[in-house]
C-alpha cells in the first residue's frame, strides 16, 4: 500500500541525520508506528532492502515500536484502548471520544557507526 513512499522518506530522513552527524554507516533505525497508521512492518522491510542498497544505510536493521490506539472519553475523561468495532467508553459507556494516540508515524532515532578515529591523537598525548 503506502509503504513505498513511507520507506523512501525513512531513508531520506535517516541519511540526512547521519550526514549532519558527520557521516558514517547507519546500523539501526528506530521507528514508531501507531496502530492507526496502518503501516505493515513486513512491507516496509521489503522496500527497505531494495532502496537502501548502495547507500550508507544498507543493511541497517529496522526496529518497529508499535503504539496502541488510545481513546479519551470526552464524557468522563477516561483513557482506554477500544475493543474491536466499537468506540464505547469502557468506563462510562459514553460515545464521545477523541483519538489520543495510535496515529504516530515517526523516525525516533538511528545508530551511526563512525569510521575509527585516527589513533595518532591519543599517542601524541604521551610525553
Binding site for another protein (CB under 8 A): 1-2, 4-6, 9-10, 12-14, 17-18, 21, 24, 27, 31, 36-38, 69, 84-87, 95-97, 99, 103, 105-114, 116-117
Rounded CA-CA distance 23/32 in Å is 23
- Which residues are at the interface with Zn ion (CB under 5 A)? 73, 75-76, 78, 89, 91-92, 94
Which of the choices Zn ion, another protein, none does residue 97 contact, using the CB cut-off of 5 to 8 A by kind? another protein
- Is residue 60 exposed (0-12), middle (13-18) or buried (19+ Cβ within 10 Å)? buried
Round to whole Å and give the CA distance between 74 and 69.
16
Question: Any idea what DSSP says for residue 15?
Answer: H
Using the minimum distance from each CB to Zn ion, give the nearer residue, 24 or 82. Answer: 82
Rg (C-alpha) for the chain, rounded Å, is 21
* 96 interacts with, out of Zn ion, another protein, none, CB within 5 to 8 A per kind: another protein
CB of 125 to another protein, least distance (A): 18
Contact status, residue 91 vs residue 78, Cβ threshold 8 Å: yes
Residue (49 or 98) nearer to another protein, CB: 98
Amino acid at each position: 500500500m503506502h509503504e513505498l513512499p513511507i520507506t523512501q522518506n525513512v531513508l531520506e530522513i535517516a541519511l540526512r541525520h547521519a550526514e549532519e552527524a558527520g557521516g558514517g554507516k547507519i546500523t539501526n533505525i528506530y521507528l514508531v508506528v501507531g496502530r492507526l497508521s496502518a503501516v505493515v512492518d513486513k512491507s516496509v522491510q521489503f522496500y527497505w532492502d531494495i532502496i537502501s542498497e548502495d547507500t550508507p544505510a544498507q543493511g541497517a536493521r529496522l526496529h518497529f515500536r508499535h503504539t496502541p490506539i488510545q481513546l479519551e472519553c470526552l464524557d468522563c475523561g477516561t483513557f482506554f484502548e477500544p475493543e474491536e468495532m466499537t468506540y464505547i467508553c469502557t468506563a462510562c459507556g459514553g460515545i464521545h471520544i477523541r483519538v489520543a494516540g495510535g496515529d504516530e508515524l515517526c523516525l525516533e532515532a538511528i545508530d551511526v557507526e563512525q569510521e575509527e578515529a585516527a589513533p595518532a591523537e591519543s599517542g601524541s598525548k604521551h610525553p
